[in-house]
Structure 1
């Protein structure tokens, strides 16, 4: 555990400045910090068997990203802090609106980076957090939308299963 400059432990036993970012190259760090926004965009996008989600999905995605600040993982908290610092306080979807194949490739690349460089607990926490971001967006179907309950359509389940597989969670 690290200590503050005054010699006292930081509040709640957390480090004041996570050291996790030092082990990643700039490209690896960009991958890890861009991936949550890409997941929000992909999970909110309509597709065959997937409803148009609208503003509710975007808000659910932003809330899910922000929830990473409370994770018991230095890596997840550092990623969220970087997202907020880069976007001046508000995470926003990436400009790279890519298809699902590209997103899944990015998830596999992130999983490889995490296997090589991250503490196993931080790796698991990051991958589960990214999956939870997608799940919260998929559950955010606007009220009154016909069809199965939010996040329970076969297309949403397939999307989440493929994402989980690419992240190494399945």
Structure 2
């Protein structure tokens, strides 16, 4: 005779069972799927937009991409539940998952997405988490802009304009 399985309070390793854990951090529960998708895709869209050449902006190579990935990963150490949850979601996302609309690097679209993210944060996020997310996304772009091979680690005038536009879209200015 089969007996019903009784949930254990602890796993074999001594950790709490998954029955007591939330499927997603409480931070993510306040966002709709579309809002969460916006918040989790914006950092990578910013990396690509900041790395592509534009008027007065140099072409960047692998160093810019690596700088962007490092800046995104640095979010794991932020003192913000929201930023840490976004980074975890980015790393959990399937590598081949397309970004909404398929427009990875169109700067106009990235700035529109940043403005939309700022509105979502204004409505739903704790003010400290909101500020941390905005500053983190801006820092991602800044690290990409400073990753000029053979450069001095500073952003040129065109990069500063991009960063100013992004900061404005994020509501930092």
TM-score by length of 1: 0.82
CA–CA distance in structure 2, aligned partners of residues 37 and 151 of structure 1: 21
**1:45 equivalent in alignment to 2:52:** yes
From 125, 130, 138, give the equivalent of 1:123. 130
**4+ runs deviating over 6 angstroms:** none
Report the 3-state secondary structure (helix = DSSP H, G, I; strand = E; otherwise coil) of the residue aligned with 1:164: helix
Q: Could you tell me which runs of 5 or more consecutive residues in structure 2 were left unpaired when the two chains were aligned.
A: 1-8, 11-21
Q: What TM-score do you get using the length of structure 2 for normalisation?
A: 0.81
Q: Structure 1 residue 160 and structure 2 residue 169: aligned? A: no
Residues in 1 aligned to 2:58 and 2:172: alpha-carbon distance in whole angstroms: 25
Q: 1:130 to 1:32 in 2, by over 3 A?
A: same
Structure label with greater radius of gyration = 2
1:92–1:133 CA distance, 2 compared to 1 (3 A): farther
Match of 2:64 among 57, 74, 77: 57
From 68, 74, 89, the counterpart of 2:75? 68
Shift of 1:150: 4.1
Partner of 1:77: 84
Mapped to 2, the partners of 1:93 and 1:44 lie a distance apart of 18
Cα deviation per residue 1:64-117 (whole Å; 9 max; x = unaligned)? 0000000000000000000001136xx999553242111111000000000000
Instruction: Give the secondary structure class of the aligned counterpart of 2:162.
Output: helix
Q: Structure 1 unaligned runs (5+)?
A: 7-15
Task: Describe the shift of the 1:150–1:49 C-alpha distance in structure 2 as closer, same or farther (beyond 3 A).
Answer: farther
The count of residues paired between Structure 1 and Structure 2 equals: 152
